[in-house]
């Protein structure tokens, strides 16, 4: 039964992206996608079915050990070989999650860890060498850095680091792409203009807040303008899926398919939010607790893309593949 449901989901993915393909060609836009190690099976299946839709993929990813060296989960090697066989451009994504040998929990998006690493000239040099080596060992067209939660002081060193790393990668015929948070102080630092920059157009609402959409049109407009004023090679990232909020608890992240399954199970209708294009619904659980769920469907994604396109951005990255009924992207 599980296998049958999985194949049904993959079939819906294909229908989803066939509709997507026509609109993409008409508007001359490009899509790339992240494929993550912890959901590699579903992500790879979706990508294989949709590989003609995406101009490239980003293999997510590489992490850090406590000593500052890189760490790659076993799933990454398998994904790398599968992606290589598809003969499509692929980036290697490194994120500043730190895995501790001492048995401590993973420290996600550790900005202070990166700050200390980049401040030490020897550690910075060693890190550059290891990054270059990692991207050369695989069938990668380039390297992507997703270093988050950096303060302004760290950004000063980070901008220098980007330039140093980028020059070496260029000499090896490899590309460099940098992921930016909405709050990244790019207007206060001198970023090298030669490289690609991907702005995360999400997290408007999420773990840090009460219920609401991951993005809305005002956020997208503001981020497009921020990028246009500070960087040349611009891309925008949109996040699929959503969250389930209940009072007094941490919200639960949901993929699109999980959110839809929950709505159908609870027999409730979704409402469209005009400001964001997102959909939401409310329900009560078995204990009588009130929940509110927000997520994106094809109309949401189309409205986000159109807003960004009006602002002059036509290259997009999708976070992430895995657990999406991608037929919902047919509006594109």
DSSP helix/strand/coil, 112: helix
Q: In DSSP terms, which residues pair with 35 in a beta bridge?
A: 59, 321
pLDDT at 11 over 80: no
Give the percent of the chain with pLDDT over 70.
Answer: 89
Mean pLDDT of 96-121: 90
Give the percent of the chain with pLDDT over 90.
Answer: 81
Kindly report, residue by residue over 224-259, the tens digit of the pLDDT: 999 999 999 999 999 989 999 999 999 999 999 999
pLDDT recorded at residue 27: 58
Mean pLDDT of 72-91: 93
Between residues 101 and 94, the one the model is more confident about: 94
Q: How confident is the model at residue 211 (pLDDT cuts 50, 70, 90)?
A: very high
Number of Cβ within a 10 Å radius of residue 100: 12
pLDDT at 172 over 90: yes
Give domain 23-242+302-329's CATH number out of 3.20.20.80, 3.40.640.10, 3.30.70.260, 2.60.120.380: 3.20.20.80
Tokens of 215: 């993005």
Peptide bond into 106 cis (omega under 30): no
Kindly report, residue by residue over 297-308, the tens digit of the pLDDT: 989 999 999 999
Number of H helices, E strands in the chain: 9, 14
Q: Are 308 and 300 in contact (CB under 8 A)?
A: no
pLDDT recorded at residue 328: 52
Angle (nearest 5°) at CA 153 between 119 and 143: 65
Rounded to two decimals, the pTM is 0.89
């Amino acid at each position: 039964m599980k296998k049958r449901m999985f194949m049904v989901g993959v079939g819906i993915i294909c229908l989803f992206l066939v509709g997507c393909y026509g609109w993409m060609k008409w508007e001359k836009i490009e899509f790339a996608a992240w494929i993550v190690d912890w959901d590699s099976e579903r992500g790879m299946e979706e990508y294989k079915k949709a590989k003609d839709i995406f101009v490239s993929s980003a293999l997510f990813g590489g992490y850090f050990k406590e000593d500052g060296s890189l760490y790659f989960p076993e799933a990454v090697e398998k994904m790398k070989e599968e992606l290589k066989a598809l003969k499509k451009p692929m980036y290697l994504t490194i994120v500043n999650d730190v895995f501790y040998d001492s048995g401590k929990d993973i420290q996600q998006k550790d900005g202070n860890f990166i700050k200390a690493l980049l401040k030490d000239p020897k550690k910075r040099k060693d890190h550059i060498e290891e990054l270059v080596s990692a991207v050369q060992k695989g069938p990668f067209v380039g390297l992507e850095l997703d270093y988050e939660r950096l303060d302004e002081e760290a950004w000063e060193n980070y901008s220098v680091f980007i330039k140093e790393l980028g020059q070496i990668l260029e000499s090896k015929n490899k590309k460099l792409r940098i992921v930016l948070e909405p709050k990244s102080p790019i207007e206060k630092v001198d970023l090298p203009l030669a490289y690609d920059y991907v702005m995360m157009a999400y997290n408007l609402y999420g773990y840090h807040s009460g219920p609401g959409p991951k993005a809305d049109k005002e956020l997208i407009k503001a981020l497009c303008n921020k990028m246009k004023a500070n960087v040349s090679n611009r891309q925008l990232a949109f996040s699929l899926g959503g969250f389930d909020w209940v009072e007094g608890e941490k919200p639960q992240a949901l993929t699109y398919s999980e959110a839809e399954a929950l709505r159908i199970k609870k027999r409730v209708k979704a409402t469209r939010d005009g400001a964001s294009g997102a959909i939401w619904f409310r329900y009560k659980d078995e204990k009588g607790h009130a929940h509110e769920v927000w997520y994106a469907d094809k109309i949401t994604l189309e409205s986000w893309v159109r807003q960004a396109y009006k602002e002059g951005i036509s290259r997009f990255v999708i976070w992430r593949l895995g657990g999406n009924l991608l037929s919902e992207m047919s509006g594109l």
